[in-house]
């Protein structure tokens, strides 16, 4: 029986997957995404075919459905690779997840509330569905292990770092690492000889400065809430704002955390959407392959333009800053749903910036599932 690697990449309401053949040099067998998990009108997109469901579906149910749609028998799956967003200050390298390790990782769920819970729920489901398979966690933070202390430490008492591990961890590392490697191939230069700025723009957003193949700065910090404006996440904040809101709104820390993670960003600024396609459309920009809402109120148009300007201004600020840490930038590499599909965003965020040299602006689809499969194969 052939051996295959199943990669599962759980998001806040999605479950992406890729099935790879070990014997055929990780040739892709099946791939897709189960979307709107836990929400109304969920659907499975597998190998380009969309299947709709009428009831809400949880992660375990989604995984069981995916398995029934795969091209191979599930017993041929000997290893399962999982993207795990946050392993705190304990887990960085790909790790075999036993039940003991699962419990240790779960202690860091509060640091990535939109993702870690989903990641671990899927691993837990795999214990019963694939009792003989090995579950390997690949951490989003691993790409940033060579950050220097001056780049990862916060200016709070050093004991807080030593005792609680409070530092900049960085996320989307699997994505940034894979597109940097692919960009070097596209530029026909060794990765350790070039400097890049990689920009991951989706519902979550991040930017990384890469010097000679090594990540030296990243916008995401202690949690995935830091940095750029995102779909529902605020990004950079004056640290006194959450404390001020807690007093004014008379709300708990958990409620303020939910506000900043799920009700801010593009959604909070626009007041009606977290979808950049709708923001662009309401701001009178062309949007590729858009079939959604086309009529907006004057107030929605005004707020959408404001949200877009805040998003672009924050992104331009980071691009300019990161370029200053690199002698020469060979390319600015965009990935993610927004980064790949929106020439408007790429143009607005990079035009009229004084770079040393003229970097190429390129787009590369992020293949996190393949990158995870490669790391899993190397350690099994």
pTM over 0.85: yes
Name the percent of the chain in helix, strand, coil, to the closest 5.
Answer: 40, 20, 40
The predicted structure's pLDDT at residue 1: 42
The per-residue pLDDT for range 71-104, each reduced to its tens digit, is 999 989 999 999 999 998 889 899 999 999 999 9
Q: Are residues 244 and 324 both part of a single domain?
A: yes
Q: Are residues 134 and 252 both part of a single domain?
A: no
Q: Are residues 104 and 210 both part of a single domain?
A: no
Comparing C-alpha atoms, which of 323, 305, 325 is closest to residue 313? 305
In a domain, 147, yes or no: no
In a domain, 327, yes or no: yes
Q: Taking the mean position of all CA atoms in its chain, how far away is CA 214? A: 19
Q: Are residues 274 and 129 both part of a single domain?
A: no
Given a cut of 50, the residues of the chain with pLDDT beneath it are 1
The predicted structure's pLDDT at residue 43: 94
Q: Are residues 11 and 134 both part of a single domain?
A: yes
Q: Are residues 207 and 115 both part of a single domain?
A: no
Q: Are residues 207 and 93 both part of a single domain?
A: no
Which one of 110, 140, 226, 367 is the catalytic residue?
Answer: 140
In a domain, 175, yes or no: no
Q: Are residues 133 and 200 both part of a single domain?
A: no
Q: Which two tokens stand for residue 94?
A: 């790909």
In a domain, 168, yes or no: no
Q: Are residues 211 and 106 both part of a single domain?
A: no
The predicted structure's pLDDT at residue 291: 78
Rounded CA-CA distance 102/23 in Å is 29
Q: Are residues 201 and 342 both part of a single domain?
A: yes
- Strand runs (DSSP E) across 72-133, as ranges? 77-84, 95-96
In a domain, 86, yes or no: yes
Q: Are residues 274 and 354 both part of a single domain?
A: yes
In a domain, 316, yes or no: yes
In a domain, 225, yes or no: yes
Residue 9 in contact with residue 369, Cβ under 8 Å? yes
Q: Are residues 119 and 214 both part of a single domain?
A: no
Domain of 41, in residue numbers: 4-139
In a domain, 377, yes or no: no
The predicted structure's pLDDT at residue 2: 57
Q: What CATH number should be reported for the domain holding residue 106?
A: 3.30.420.40
Residue 313 in contact with residue 227, Cβ under 8 Å? no
**Per-residue H/E/C for 25-45:** CCEEEEEEEEECCCCCCCEEE
Domain total of the chain: 2
Q: Is 182 a catalytic residue?
A: no
């Amino acid at each position: 029986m052939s051996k295959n690697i199943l990669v599962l990449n759980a998001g806040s309401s999605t479950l992406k997957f890729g099935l790879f053949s070990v014997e055929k040099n990780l040739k892709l067998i099946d791939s897709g995404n189960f979307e709107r998990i836990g929400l109304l009108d969920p659907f499975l997109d597998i190998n380009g075919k969309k299947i709709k469901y009428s009831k809400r579906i949880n992660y375990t149910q989604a995984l069981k459905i995916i398995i029934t749609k795969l091209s191979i028998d599930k017993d041929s799956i000997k290893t399962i690779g999982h993207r795990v967003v946050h392993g705190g200050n304990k887990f960085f390298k790909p790790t075999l997840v036993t039940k003991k390790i699962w419990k240790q990782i779960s202690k860091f769920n509060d640091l990535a509330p939109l993702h870690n819970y989903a990641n671990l729920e899927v691993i837990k489901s795999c214990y019963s569905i694939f009792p003989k398979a090995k579950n390997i966690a690949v951490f989003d933070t691993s790409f940033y292990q060579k950050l220097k202390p001056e780049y990862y430490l916060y200016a709070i008492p050093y004991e807080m770092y030593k005792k609680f591990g409070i530092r900049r961890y960085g996320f989307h590392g699997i994505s940034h690492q894979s597109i940097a490697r692919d960009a070097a191939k596209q530029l026909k230069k060794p990765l350790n000889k070039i400097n890049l700025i990689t920009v991951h723009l989706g519902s979550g957003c991040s930017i990384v400065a890469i010097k000679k193949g090594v990540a030296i700065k990243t916008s995401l910090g202690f949690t995935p809430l830091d940095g750029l404006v995102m779909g529902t996440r605020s990004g950079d904040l004056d640290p006194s704002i959450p404390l001020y809101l807690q007093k004014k709104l008379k709300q708990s820390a958990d409620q303020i955390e939910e506000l900043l993670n799920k009700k801010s960003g593009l959604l909070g600024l626009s007041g009606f959407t977290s979808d950049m396609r709708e923001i662009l459309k309401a701001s009178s920009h062309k949007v590729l392959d858009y079939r959604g809402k086309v009529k907006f109120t004057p107030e929605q148009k005004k707020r959408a333009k404001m949200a877009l300007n805040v998003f672009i201004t924050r992104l331009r600020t980071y691009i300019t800053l990161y370029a200053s840490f690199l002698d020469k930038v060979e390319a600015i590499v965009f990935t993610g749903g927004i980064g790949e599909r929106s020439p408007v965003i790429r143009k607005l965020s990079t035009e009229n910036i004084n770079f040393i040299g003229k970097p190429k602006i390129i787009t590369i689809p992020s293949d996190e599932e393949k990158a995870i499969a490669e790391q899993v194969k190397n350690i099994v």
